[in-house]
């Protein structure tokens, strides 16, 4: 059409020139009209080339404009079918208009996974699941990088209750497209809810895909599924090769906040390794190097008071500043059977410190119920002092907290010191 327009323009200009030549003397510049026709013809060829480039650049961003110039442009027609699909409702007649776009696209380009994808969707809407499965598979064989086909295959498999297939297609879409990854992360987190979908998801995560870090980060901040995420962590390999330690710590923290210390301990044993965990959880509280709170000292950031582990977690330094309020400075989770015990430790005051009764204390609580088991004030007459307290654990208290707490400090003195050589010894049943 463009070239026909250029020819018509050239003929019109030539006719105008002949009319003028009948009323004026012959001009020595008779070649000018021919040159002008060539220039205009070239201009229209350039315009045609521009339109072809426009089609290539705009078939996704502005498919309506492209189809106005190139009705059978394959990618633009697929895009129009995508847009039509996004606007359907339960009452929509999906097949008619979308089928037109898909057929145009397929006629223009036979190896066309996008068009086949829509024929697969049409088959789904018509209730022919076997045909839909076959068409989707054909489109996927043409291009594994067509993430939209992977998304629809994921939805197809998920609808039919095929969790392993659904997880595989989710993985393929998330690997192929960052946009698809963002859209599918909530679905991946939903896969935690049921055992079969969680196991299928774990199978994909065990391959260490590039979207795994995004998943673990998002899932570990979803407190509503902390137990389910802990179960997934237990089903993954131990160690930190596939799941970073900071994610395992977050899972442990969340399960403890949900009052599930036994699950937190199981994750710790699995993530840290059985031997290391056994040493860390040993009843003599003699810890190996490594930061695994709350099985070593877990410190908290509070106003006007600080605490930090020392000597690879064996000791704890603390400081209560003037004006401090009541707060939890640090804690450790322990696991002792029912019975009566003596908790003993050595308190060392910092130079010029004056630890008086009521400024800080160690308390013991049942982790499950929060019931108080006992406490001892952190106070000393001299530079060092051995301190102890006796407490009893009931049958229904499987895990216990050792807590270091500050109290209001109205004085102008800093109360600081170190807790070391902490032991718990069994006295009686």
Per residue in 132-177, pLDDT (tens digit) is 788 788 777 777 777 888 888 888 888 889 999 999 999 999 998 8
**CATH code at 325?**
2.60.120.260
Question: Does 191 map to a domain?
Answer: no
pLDDT tens digits for range 16-62: 334 434 444 444 444 555 444 443 343 333 323 333 333 343 344 55
287 pLDDT above the threshold of 50: no
Q: Find residue 247's DSSP bridge partners.
A: none
Q: Which of 16, 17, 10 lies closest to 41, judged by CA?
A: 10
Could you read off the pLDDT of 188-226 as tens digits, one per residue? 999 999 999 999 999 999 999 999 999 999 999 999 999
Average model confidence (pLDDT) across the chain? 75
Confidence band of 277 (pLDDT split at 50, 70, 90): low
Question: Could you tell me the pLDDT band of residue 263, with boundaries at 50, 70 and 90?
Answer: very high
Q: Is the per-residue pLDDT at 283 higher than 60?
A: no
Residues 409, 333: contact at Cβ < 8 Å? no
Residue at 304 is within a domain: yes
Domain extent, residue 355, equals 298-428
Residue 243 lies in a domain: no
Please indicate, yes or no, if residue 241 is contained in any of the structural domains.
Answer: no
Evaluate the omega torsion of the peptide bond into residue 294 and state whether it is cis, within 30 degrees of 0. Answer: yes
399 neighbors 294 (Cβ within 8 angstroms): no
Instruction: Examine residue 136 and state whether it is found in any structural domain, yes or no.
Output: no
CA distance 144 to 213: 22
Instruction: Determine contact, residues 24/17, Cβ cutoff 8 Å.
Output: no
Q: At residue 421, does pLDDT exceed 50?
A: yes
Mean pLDDT along residues 270-289: 60
Total domains present in the chain: 2
Please indicate, yes or no, if residue 182 is contained in any of the structural domains. Answer: no
Residue 373 lies in a domain: yes
CA distance 183 to 176: 13
Average pLDDT over residues 409-415: 72
Task: Give me the pLDDT at residue 16, please.
Answer: 37
What the block records as the tokens of 103 is 């057929």
Task: Give the pLDDT of residue 343.
Answer: 92
| Alpha-carbon gap, residue 153 to 102, rounded angstroms | 18
Q: Give per-residue pLDDT as tens, 84-140.
A: 665 555 445 555 566 666 566 555 555 667 677 777 777 776 677 787 788 788 777
- pLDDT value of position 33: 55
Give the pair of three-digit tokens for residue 417: 């010191």
Residue 17 lies in a domain: yes
Distance CA 140, CA 179 (A): 19
Q: In sequence order, what DSSP letters do the residues of 322-386 get, joined into one string?
A: TT--SEEEEEEEE---SEEEEEEEEEEEPTT----TTSEEEEEEETTT--EEEEEE---SSSEEE
User: What is the tens place of the pLDDT at every residue in 240-257?
Assistant: 889 998 999 999 989 988
In order of 20, 27, 51, 316, the CA distances from 6 in angstroms are 22, 25, 15, 88
Beta pairing partners, 345: 387
Residue 305: name the closest of 268, 287, 330 by CA: 330
- For 100, counting Cβ atoms within 10 Å of its Cβ (0-12 exposed, 13-18 middle, 19+ buried), the class is middle
Q: pTM score > 0.75 for this model? A: no
């Amino acid at each position: 059409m463009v070239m026909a327009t250029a020819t018509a323009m050239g003929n019109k200009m030539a006719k105008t020139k002949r009319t003028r030549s009948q009323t004026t003397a012959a001009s020595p510049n008779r070649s000018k009209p021919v040159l002008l026709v060539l220039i205009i013809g070239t201009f229209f060829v350039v315009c045609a080339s521009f339109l072809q480039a426009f089609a290539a650049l705009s078939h996704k961003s502005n498919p309506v404009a492209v189809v106005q110039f190139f009705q059978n442009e394959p990618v633009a027609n697929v895009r129009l079918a995508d847009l039509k699909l996004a606007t359907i409702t339960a009452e929509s007649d999906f097949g008619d208009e979308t089928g037109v776009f898909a057929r145009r696209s397929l006629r223009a380009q036979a190896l066309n996974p996008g068009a086949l994808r829509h024929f697969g969707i049409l088959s789904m809407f018509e209730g022919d699941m076997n045909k839909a499965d076959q068409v989707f598979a054909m489109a996927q064989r043409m291009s594994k990088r067509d993430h939209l086909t992977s998304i629809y295959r994921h939805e197809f498999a998920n609808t039919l209750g095929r969790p392993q297939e659904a997880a595989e297609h989710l993985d393929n879409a998330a690997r192929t497209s960052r946009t698809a990854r963002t859209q599918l992360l909530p679905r991946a987190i939903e896969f935690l809810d049921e055992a079969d979908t969680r196991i299928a998801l774990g199978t994909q995560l065990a391959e260490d895909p590039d979207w795994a870090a995004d998943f673990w980060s998002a899932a570990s901040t979803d407190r509503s599924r902390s137990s389910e995420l802990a179960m997934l962590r237990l089903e993954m390999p131990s160690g930190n090769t596939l799941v970073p330690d900071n994610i395992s710590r977050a899972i442990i923290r969340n399960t403890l906040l949900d009052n599930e210390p036994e699950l937190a301990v199981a994750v710790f044993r699995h993530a840290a390794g059985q031997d290391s965990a056994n040493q860390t959880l040993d009843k003599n509280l003699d810890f190996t190097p490594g930061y695994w709170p709350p099985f070593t000292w877990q410190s908290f950031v509070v106003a006007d008071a600080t605490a930090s582990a020392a000597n690879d977690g064996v000791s704890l330094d603390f400081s209560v500043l003037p004006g401090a309020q009541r707060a939890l400075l640090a804690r450790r989770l322990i696991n002792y059977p029912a019975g009566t015990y003596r908790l003993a430790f050595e308190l060392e005051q910092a130079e010029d410190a004056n630890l008086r009764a009521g400024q800080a204390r160690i308390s013991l609580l049942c982790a499950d119920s929060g019931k108080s088991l006992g406490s001892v004030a952190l106070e000393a007459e001299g530079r060092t002092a051995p301190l102890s307290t006796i407490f009893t654990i009931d049958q229904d208290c499987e895990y216990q907290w050792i807590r270091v707490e500050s109290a209001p400090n109205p004085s102008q003195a800093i109360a600081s010191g170190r807790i070391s050589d902490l032991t718990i010894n069994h006295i009686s049943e």
